Amino acid sequence: MYARLLKKPLNETKSFFLFGPRGTGKTSWLQSQLQNQNCLYFDLLESSNFNRFFANPQLLESVIPTNYDNWIVIDEVQKVPALLDEVHRLIEKYNYKFILTGSSARKLRHGGANLLAGRALTYYLHPLTAIEFGNDFDLKKVLLYGCLPGVATASEPKKVLASYVQTYLYQEIQQEGLVRNLEHFARFFESASFSQGSILNMASVARDCGVKNKLVANYFEILNDLLIGYQLPPFTRHAKRRLAAHPKFYFFDTGVFRSIRPRGPLDSEEMIDGPALETLFLQQLRAINDYYELDYKLYYWRTNDGFEVDFVAYGPNGMHAFEIKRSSVWSESDLRGLKTLGKDYPVAQRYLIYLGNKTECFKDIKIIPMTDALMNLNTILAAST
């Protein structure tokens, strides 16, 4: 198992949530971190645990030994949202320390469940980063199959991805009762993959799926809540020109996107590889931002007259703008968006990330190979403007 960058939670003395899409390695991470500790562990994916706590959440207190002072782990806590009220009570009464993992906050939030009123911190686990891969990082492979740990270590990653999509992204959604018509949702799922890296047009997706706009909006909300979809807002702070107003959409992992995206004779490689490269950079950007607690807000920037920069990280350490190119060579025309953004925001550090192998500079714009950028993303983001 790859060593993960997430370290801080177990150094805390406070209970915490650990959220992340299914398959990102939450359970494996916990087991590796707690292997020498005699912790209480309740996996709600096990029917015996689910059934007894679903029927009577108050049973939790009776299975915790008197004067217990170690971690209490409840895996996939969203399966029994009512348990959170009991967890809250036990923290107040006994000062117990809980680790609460989940692959969805939807039932917790939409059911009005108690999110412990600030008594628990929140952390996220993402697909593997280039830094975590280390010497095993293979750009071509992760662009094809993504960065889920179980896929990255599989002998047949394509089959594992297909199984992941089928058994989790469809069956799990149906079992949780999140959609009434799985056929409509499956059609939406494929249609959403054509929106990858694009400004979200709900009406267009609804027409493609043959359903109402309101239903499509609800489906996108489900993807967000399950942490398998992400909407990237436009950067509009102190705008000096008219800018795009709608978010862009991305699936959380390159491999998952490719597995969902239908392909045919009319689909060029660029139609797939361009969004895949952006997806890879974004998923790494989100992970590094969370793991190193850099507190950036992530955006894209686009003017109404067509100048665009793929990603903007804006936060306490300044402003960083990234343009992603799938070419192994670059030209000055590739810098148009970065140049225009620089005129409006001179404080921004600007980067062109491409598939070549040479690090260069054009005036104050840094040109960096994709692998080098991903391997050093923590250092790049930590640099103050």
Q: How far apart are CA 137 and CA 131, in angstroms?
A: 8
Decide if 232 is inside a domain: yes
Query: Do 96 and 148 lie in a common domain?
Result: no
**Digit-coded pLDDT (tens) for 370-384:** 999 999 999 999 876
Domain that holds residue 62: 8-124
Into how many domains does the chain fold? 2
- The first and second tokens of residue 212, run together, are 């109402």
| Tens-level pLDDT at each residue, the chain (385 residues) | 789 999 878 777 789 999 999 899 999 999 888 887 789 999 998 999 999 999 999 999 999 998 898 999 999 998 898 898 899 899 989 999 999 998 877 767 655 455 666 667 889 999 999 999 999 999 999 999 999 999 999 999 999 998 988 877 666 677 666 777 778 888 888 899 999 999 999 999 999 888 889 989 988 988 898 899 999 999 998 878 888 889 999 999 999 999 888 776 555 566 678 899 999 999 999 999 999 999 999 999 999 888 999 999 999 889 999 999 999 999 999 999 999 999 999 999 999 999 999 999 999 999 999 999 999 999 999 876 6
Decide if 250 is inside a domain: yes
Classify burial at 294, counting beta carbons within 10 Å of its beta carbon; exposed 0-12, middle 13-18, buried 19 or more.
middle
Q: How far apart are CA 152 and CA 137, in angstroms?
A: 10
Please give the pLDDT value at position 117: 62
Decide if 190 is inside a domain: yes
Query: Do 115 and 158 lie in a common domain?
Result: no
* Amino acid, res. 131: I
Contacts of 177 (CB under 8 A, 6+ apart): none
Query: Do 119 and 134 lie in a common domain?
Result: no
User: 358: number of CA atoms within 13 Å, CB side?
Assistant: 7
Query: Do 268 and 215 lie in a common domain?
Result: yes
Q: Which of 74, 98, 124 is the last residue of a domain?
A: 124
Decide if 2 is inside a domain: no
Cα-to-chain-centroid distance, residue 195: 17
Look at residue 33 and give its three-state secondary structure: helix
Query: Do 156 and 299 lie in a common domain?
Result: yes
Contacts of 15 (CB under 8 A, 6+ apart): 87, 91, 96, 97, 98, 99, 100, 116, 119, 120, 121
Q: Which of 124, 150, 165 is the last residue of a domain?
A: 124
Decide if 96 is inside a domain: yes
Query: Do 219 and 336 lie in a common domain?
Result: yes
Query: Do 337 and 218 lie in a common domain?
Result: yes
Query: Do 62 and 162 lie in a common domain?
Result: no
Query: Do 201 and 283 lie in a common domain?
Result: yes
Decide if 302 is inside a domain: yes
- The first and second tokens of residue 20, run together, are 């992340």
The full length of the chain comes to 385
Decide if 350 is inside a domain: yes
Decide if 1 is inside a domain: no
pTM of the entire predicted model: 0.92
Query: Do 377 and 234 lie in a common domain?
Result: yes
Query: Do 319 and 371 lie in a common domain?
Result: yes
Query: Do 46 and 149 lie in a common domain?
Result: no
Q: Which of 106, 124, 142 is the last residue of a domain?
A: 124
Please give the pLDDT value at position 116: 66
Q: 306 to each of 244, 263, 316, 337, how far by Cα in Å?
A: 9, 28, 29, 9
Instruction: Check which CATH number belongs to the domain holding 47 and give it.
Output: 3.40.50.300
